[in-house]
Amino acid sequence: MSRIGKKPVSVPQGVSVDLQGRDLKVKGPKGELEMILVEEVLAKLENDEIIVTPRDNSQRSRSMWGMQRTLIENLIAGVAEGFSRGLEIQGVGYRAAVQGNTLTMQLGFSHEVKMDIPEGIEVKCPTQTEINVSGNSKQRVGQFAAEIREWRKPEPYKGKGIRYKGEYVFRKEGKKK
C-alpha cells in the first residue's frame, strides 16, 4: 500500500479543479496547468479533496498510485503559491544579469553565455551573484535551474561555479609540495 497515495490532496481556496475522466485541469492565482492521468489510477473529486486510487492490484498500478498523487499535489501547489529555485554564483568575475527575456552570464569563458528565458518562467537577479528562477510548474522551474547550473558546475578545489542556494560543495585539498 502506498502511504503517499492514501492521503487525499486538499484543494485550497481560490483554486478550481476540473476533473473529466483522465484529464485534470487546475486554475489558480498563479496560472493554469493541466495533466493527463495514467490509465492505471482513478481520481475522484470529493469535498474539495482529490482522492487517487489504483485501478487494480497490479505492480504498475501500485507504483503509479503515489506518483500521480504527488504530481496532482504539485499542480495545485504551483497554481496556488508557485515554485522557486535559487542559484548562487561564486568565482572572480562571474556574474549574471537579466536583460529583457534573456539571462546573460559571464562565467570565465571568452564569451558571454546568453540563455532565452522560457515562457511561464520568471528569472530575477537581485545581485550580480544571485539568480532566482520561479514559475508555477515545479518541473519547468527545476529544469531551467539545472540548465543554468550546467554551464559551470561547482568544482571541488576552489568552489567556483554555479550552485543551488544552500548546496554544500565537498572541497578537496590541492597538490602538496
Here the CATH number for the domain that contains residue 34 is 3.90.930.12
Question: Do 142 and 115 sit in the same domain of this protein?
Answer: yes
pLDDT tens figures, 61-72: 988 999 999 999
| Number of domain units in the chain | 2
Confidence of residue 177 (pLDDT cuts 50, 70, 90): confident
Quote the cell numbers at residue 97.
Answer: 544579469
What pLDDT, on the 0 to 100 scale, is given for residue 71? 95
Q: Is residue 99 a part of any domain in this protein? A: yes
Distance (Å, rounded) from C-alpha 177 to C-alpha 169? 25
Question: What domain range includes position 89?
Answer: 83-164
pTM listed for this prediction:
0.89
What pLDDT, on the 0 to 100 scale, is given for residue 107? 94
Q: Is residue 151 a part of any domain in this protein? A: yes
Read off the pLDDT of each residue in 91-98 and give the average, rounded to a whole number.
94
State the alpha helices, DSSP H only, in 20-133: 59-80
Q: Is residue 7 a part of any domain in this protein? A: yes
> CB under 8 Å to 123, separation ≥6 — which residues?
98, 103, 117, 131, 132, 133, 134, 144
Question: Do 105 and 65 sit in the same domain of this protein?
Answer: no
pLDDT tens figures, 139-167: 999 999 999 999 999 999 998 999 999 99
pLDDT tens figures, 9-60: 999 999 999 999 889 999 999 999 999 999 999 999 998 899 999 999 999 9
What pLDDT, on the 0 to 100 scale, is given for residue 3? 84
Residue 2 has pLDDT above 80, yes or no: no
Residue 4 has pLDDT above 90, yes or no: no
| Percentage, residues of the chain above pLDDT 70 | 99
What pLDDT, on the 0 to 100 scale, is given for residue 126? 95
Quote the cell numbers at residue 17.
Answer: 479543479
What pLDDT, on the 0 to 100 scale, is given for residue 1? 64
Q: Residue 143: which H helix or E strand, with range?
A: helix 138-150
Q: Is residue 119 a part of any domain in this protein? A: yes
Query: Are 154 and 146 within 8 A, CB to CB?
Result: no
For residue 151, give the 3-state DSSP assignment.
Answer: coil
Question: Do 15 and 71 sit in the same domain of this protein?
Answer: yes
Distance (Å, rounded) from C-alpha 134 to C-alpha 83? 6
